[in-house]
Chains A and B, each alone.
Chain A
Amino acid sequence: MQDIILKNGRIIDPTQDLDDQTDLLIRDGRIEHIGILNDGIPEGATVIDIDGKWCVPGLVDMHVHLREPGREDKETIQTGTMAAVAGGFTAVACMPNTNPVNDSAAVTRFIMEKARSAPAVVYPIAAVTRGLEGIQLTEMVELHEAGAVAFSDDGHCIMNADNLRRALDYVKIFGGLIIDHCEDPVISKGGVMREGFICTTLGFPPIPSLAEELMVARDIRIAEYTGSAIHIAHVSSRESVRLIRDAKNRGIRVSAEVTPHHLFLTDEAVKTFDTNTKMNPPLGTEEDREILEEAVISGVIDCIATDHAPHTDTEKQVEYSLAPNGIIGLETALPLVMTRLVHTRKMNPSQMIRSMSTNPSRLLGIEGGSLLKGAPAHITVIDPDRLWMVDPMRFYSKSQNTPFGGLSLRGSCNLTLVHGKIAFQSSN
């Protein structure tokens, strides 16, 4: 395998306090050296002059839906991971709500097998309960051995508190992570958008933020009781943030993620009746958005995860309440974060890398998240100033369901290396 040298990059790695304009040498798919090459360029090496662009640990998205097996019309492991690398993500963790559900080692192995030829690294998240039905626990040890990096019932909150308690106890065998979608379905029943002023004016059945907050509070308490770690998926309300902050201050093992859409959109967007503003949890208010932004910058919320949820146009071009929840995010997350948080100086590049690479890697216990010598060369090169207009028709994803189409953003992925191989290179 040829050596690759990324020359003249701004190499940023918060795990080693690094922010230098220098070179990076990749050998045998691993990071061999960072710094000026005193011995010159090794013979036969490929040299890529990245000319001041940012060279950072490959981005990791710990919450995506790749739809395979079962809904290959929306996305496949191949197209979803192509979208990932185009968006700067070198690894993704995919949710188990496939058909069949990823609740057996056979399905986990199928995904792992399919992912072997995929451009990004794929880490399956397996179900906590069989069929996501909330009744009987899955064989988590076997799933873990087959490659599952975490467990979640995805869109279903683990409503049976005793089940959640058992799951949190059981994963102590291997130190596994449970991810919960926090929503009390009795409270949210029939709801379409976040309860609040906009919902009141539009006349939609409301989803009170209470539906999320109650389950966040419960999950935190159960995590404290068992001593196990719990991860709260896609936090959307400011009160959930307060609960998580307080729990962390008390040393409880809770972590959390926020999506780009909850960071950059509010319930105001629903006024368009664009079904690409319909998701679960629903978009919050401006106050929620501001608190979420603050929390991800300060680290109370550990990471940004897209909840990439591909749906076909046909499914989305319907009456608002009938449309499926969710939007895609892999190809827009980095440009949005760059434009709205980094260029506005709310977040520095190190904070961005923590929330989009280091922290998700740490939470899932996977390799990556740093540029340490000897680590696999999962690297994202970001062109911080590239102007980019969001054109869903040019997405690598099979689906186009995004509310961000037409936006002009600044900063995007220039080059993505996975295991030291070029997985994506932008055309300009």
Chain B
Amino acid sequence: MQLQSKDLLGLEGVTKKEISLILDTAESFREVSERSIKKVPTLRGRTIINFFHEPSTRTRISFEIAAKRLSADGINFSTSGSSFSKGETLVDTVKNLEAMQADVIVMRHGIPGAPHLIARNLDAAVINAGDGAHEHPTQALLDMFTIRRHLGKLDGLTVVIVGDIAFSRVVRSNIYGLTTMGARVIVVGPPTLIPVEISRMGIEVLYNIDEAIPQADIIMILRIQLERQGKVFLPSLREYARLYSLTPERMKIAKKDVLVMHPGPINRGVEIDPRIADGDHSVILEQVSNGVAVRMALLFLLAGRKEFNKSE
């Protein structure tokens, strides 16, 4: 089996079978990272370009390590100092990258649909590493991978996602992925950060975190920011923390084996209490480790696909 599309632009429309394939493949690559020599020759000679049009540490490094562990040549390209300042269009830039025989382009961009725009214009595989507040499929896949490793399944679980729902690409990809896999999703946050009609994505919405916590098998905390796109959505971070921060007191009403996740970067003491972030329920750093395995799986499935088609 292989993935239907040449690209991974989002989890919308990705089937249960495909998600399972990616997670199963990641399972086999996870072991590579635990070896003392963390490298396999699988993608030797392939070129993978990390094209990041927006600052990123975790995701970019994760992709870079994933490429290296597969023996691919990974190149990082951020926009500062690039042709962007010279007025070249996005499509022209990526066509130049493709002209240098890039097999996979991993793209982070602040605008929804930017990876879709380049994917339409390229033969190379495109992986969306986050487009605005739209999707961040590899993050959702690593989240699902982490959940599955701990709880053995996704089907039937309740995932509570807390925080800035409106501006989160992680939320949208997780909603698509988790609901496809049979999980129940509840989003929680102040009404100013819940986008309209989001319940039509097949999820539930709550404004009160204390109603949601007892139901959760997984609590996923999102980073909060006071200001977004020049508008203020919250009276203060202090009041936000009082209402929504995941604290030891709140954890008392949670299920005993609940998992606490956070896609990072963390604002300690704002959306999550340090004691919880570093506590027994937290799998936050494991998410990061698993991110490498999931990205190795995707690079393998997408870069490999091109070869497969050519030889047909």
Contacts of A197 in B (CB 8 A): 196-197, 200
- Encoded as 1 (CB less than 8 Å from any B CB) or 0, chain A from 178 to 213 comes to 000000000001100001110111111110000000
CB distance from A135 to the nearest CB of B (A): 23
Contacts of B191 in A (CB 8 A): none
The reply to whether B113 and A206 contact each other, CB–CB distance below 8 Å, is no
Using a CB-CB cutoff of 8 Å, which residues 112-167 of chain B contact chain A?
A: 112-114, 116-117, 131-135, 167
The reply to whether A318 and B89 contact each other, CB–CB distance below 8 Å, is yes
Contacts of B109 in A (CB 8 A): 319
Contacts of A203 in B (CB 8 A): 112, 131-135, 167, 169, 172
The reply to whether B197 and A273 contact each other, CB–CB distance below 8 Å, is no
Using a CB-CB cutoff of 8 Å, which residues 180-202 of chain B contact chain A?
A: 195-198, 200-201
A189 vs B172: C-alpha distance when bound (angstroms): 23
Contacts of B113 in A (CB 8 A): 202, 273, 319-320
Using a CB-CB cutoff of 8 Å, which residues 209-235 of chain B contact chain A?
A: 229-231
CB distance from B298 to the nearest CB of A (A): 21
- Closest B residue to A198 using CB positions: B197
Interface size on A, residues (CB 8 A): 21
Taking the complex as formed, is A322 at the interface, i.e. its CB lies under 8 A from any CB of chain B? yes
Contacts of A199 in B (CB 8 A): 195-196
The reply to whether B195 and A205 contact each other, CB–CB distance below 8 Å, is no
Contacts of B301 in A (CB 8 A): none
Using a CB-CB cutoff of 8 Å, which residues 195-252 of chain A contact chain B?
A: 195-197, 199-206
The reply to whether B133 and A190 contact each other, CB–CB distance below 8 Å, is no
Taking the complex as formed, is A317 at the interface, i.e. its CB lies under 8 A from any CB of chain B? yes
The reply to whether B196 and A206 contact each other, CB–CB distance below 8 Å, is yes
The reply to whether B116 and A190 contact each other, CB–CB distance below 8 Å, is no
Using a CB-CB cutoff of 8 Å, which residues 278-326 of chain A contact chain B?
A: 314, 317-322
Contacts of B169 in A (CB 8 A): 203
- Closest A residue to B169 using CB positions: A203
Taking the complex as formed, is B285 at the interface, i.e. its CB lies under 8 A from any CB of chain A? no
- Closest A residue to B118 using CB positions: A319
CB distance from B161 to the nearest CB of A (A): 14
The reply to whether A322 and B198 contact each other, CB–CB distance below 8 Å, is no
The reply to whether A273 and B112 contact each other, CB–CB distance below 8 Å, is yes
The reply to whether A189 and B230 contact each other, CB–CB distance below 8 Å, is yes
- Encoded as 1 (CB less than 8 Å from any A CB) or 0, chain B from 227 to 269 comes to 0011100000000000000000000000000000000000000
CB distance from A317 to the nearest CB of B (A): 6
Taking the complex as formed, is B32 at the interface, i.e. its CB lies under 8 A from any CB of chain A? no
Using a CB-CB cutoff of 8 Å, which residues 93-118 of chain B contact chain A?
A: 109, 111-114, 116-117
The reply to whether B117 and A273 contact each other, CB–CB distance below 8 Å, is yes
A199 vs B197: C-alpha distance when bound (angstroms): 9
The reply to whether A205 and B196 contact each other, CB–CB distance below 8 Å, is no
Contacts of A322 in B (CB 8 A): 111
Taking the complex as formed, is B206 at the interface, i.e. its CB lies under 8 A from any CB of chain A? no
A203 vs B135: C-alpha distance when bound (angstroms): 8
Contacts of A318 in B (CB 8 A): 89-91, 117
The reply to whether A201 and B172 contact each other, CB–CB distance below 8 Å, is yes
Contacts of B114 in A (CB 8 A): 319-320
Contacts of A273 in B (CB 8 A): 112-113, 116-117
The reply to whether A190 and B230 contact each other, CB–CB distance below 8 Å, is yes
Which single member of B91, B134, B231 contacts A190 (CB below 8 Å)?
B231
Which single member of A195, A204, A205, A317 contacts B91 (CB below 8 Å)?
A317
CB distance from B265 to the nearest CB of A (A): 19
- Closest B residue to A208 using CB positions: B196
- Closest B residue to A186 using CB positions: B231
- Closest A residue to B172 using CB positions: A203
Contacts A196-B196, A319-B90: A204 and B112 contacting too (C-beta < 8 A)? yes
Taking the complex as formed, is B12 at the interface, i.e. its CB lies under 8 A from any CB of chain A? yes
Contacts of A202 in B (CB 8 A): 112-113, 134
Contacts of A196 in B (CB 8 A): 196-197
Contacts of A189 in B (CB 8 A): 229-231
Contacts of A317 in B (CB 8 A): 89, 91
CB distance from B113 to the nearest CB of A (A): 3
CB distance from A138 to the nearest CB of B (A): 31
- Closest A residue to B168 using CB positions: A203
A235 vs B53: C-alpha distance when bound (angstroms): 36
A199 vs B111: C-alpha distance when bound (angstroms): 13
Contacts A200-B195, A273-B116, A273-B117: A319 and B12 contacting too (C-beta < 8 A)? no
CB distance from B195 to the nearest CB of A (A): 4
- Closest A residue to B230 using CB positions: A190
A199 vs B195: C-alpha distance when bound (angstroms): 9
7 A-B pairs with CB atoms under 8 Å apart are A201-B172, A203-B131, A203-B133, A203-B169, A321-B111, A321-B112, A321-B132
**Given A203-B134, A320-B117; 10 other pairs, CB 8 A cutoff:** A189-B231, A190-B230, A196-B196, A199-B195, A203-B172, A273-B116, A317-B91, A318-B91, A319-B113, A320-B111
Contact residues of B with A, CB < 8 Å?
Answer: 12, 89-91, 109, 111-114, 116-117, 131-135, 167, 169, 172, 195-198, 200-201, 229-231
Contact residues of A with B, CB < 8 Å?
Answer: 189-190, 195-197, 199-206, 273, 314, 317-322
